[in-house]
Amino acid sequence: WTALLLDLDDASIRKGLFGFNAALVGVALPTFLRWDGVLAGYIVLGALASVIVTLALTAVLETWGAAPLTGPFVVTTWFLLLASYSFGLVGRLGSLGPPALPTAFRAVSPELNALSFGDAFFRGVSQVYFINNLYTGVIFLVGIFVNSPISGSMAILGSLLGLSTALAFGADPSRLKQGLYGYNSVLTAIAIGSVFYTVGWRTTVLAAFAAIVAAVVAAGLFTALSPAGIPILTSAFVITTWAFLTAKKSLAPRHNERLAESLFGRQEGR
């Protein structure tokens, strides 16, 4: 409705480009804040603001040939969650914060067997929508495959590499088992491996590397955002994918225009 009232691009509206980030704001806020009438108004505010943030980021990023991705959702949700610490009527759940200074983590054995590794793998897919559930991850993965077998393959690659990278470097076992090191790598692998680059073996290698990078970026953001008491959301995916998109002229032979337009809309200036 906000996009319609502002008389924005009809094609982008029909593709849901302005509703996508707003929907993510609506999904994320109840995950971290207590549900009541105040939160309902908070969600509406966030949904409206996400449209403006989408327009702003699109204007800035088109210079470098990059799409906003879920950046508007991340920025909007971060500020709303930060503001909740100053608003007494916005109730926070245990999943948010509290702010704390980061401490060095000593590696401990995560005690993952084949079953628990598989469980963490599927949770890495379900956490894309902030759901910590094995079966939801299975359903999501099936849905991705139905839409695009290539994207489904990239999702598998991303979750495996995100989990394996964190495991190899001795990450917090609780985060591993909840899939918190998988979902950013899932999104990154899909974006690089099946959307913004021409599909091929070189692109698959690039997507695998990007998924590994996203897991490391996620670890850094866990530390960086701990004092603020806010979650990383999909910021590791956004940062990593932006880096690979701005470098794409050097990394890929050509841009996969058809797939990118179908999912993210045409970015003028590419």
Q: What is the pLDDT of residue 247?
A: 87
The 3-state DSSP class for residue 240 equals: helix
* CATH ID of 105-270, from 3.40.50.2000, 1.10.8.60, 3.40.50.150, 1.10.3430.10: 1.10.3430.10
What pLDDT is attached to residue 89? Answer: 87
**Domains of the chain, residue spans:** 1-96, 105-270
Per-residue pLDDT reduced to its tens digit, 90-102: 888 888 878 888 8
> Going along the chain, which residue ranges are E strands?
none
Q: How confident is the model at residue 103 (pLDDT cuts 50, 70, 90)?
A: confident
pLDDT tens for 152-211 read: 999 999 999 999 999 999 999 999 999 999 999 999 999 999 999 989 999 999 999 999
Are 121 and 160 spatial neighbours (Cβ–Cβ below 8 Å)? yes
Kindly report the average pLDDT of the chain as a whole number: 87
Q: How far apart are CA 130 and CA 192, in angstroms?
A: 22
Q: Among residues 115, 136, 108, which one has the least CA distance to residue 124?
A: 136
**pLDDT reading at 19 higher than 90:** no
The arithmetic mean of pLDDT across residues 215-220, rounded, is: 98
Say if residue 149's pLDDT is above 90: yes
- Please give the structure tokens belonging to residue 18: 């302005």
User: Do 84 and 36 touch, CB atoms closer than 8 A?
Assistant: no
Q: What is the pLDDT of residue 253?
A: 47
Percent of the chain beyond pLDDT 70? 85
Q: Which long-range contacts (CB under 8 A, 24 or more apart) does 10-14 make?
A: 11/265, 11/266, 12/265
CA distance 219 to 162: 11
Of residues 65 and 201, more confidence is placed in 201
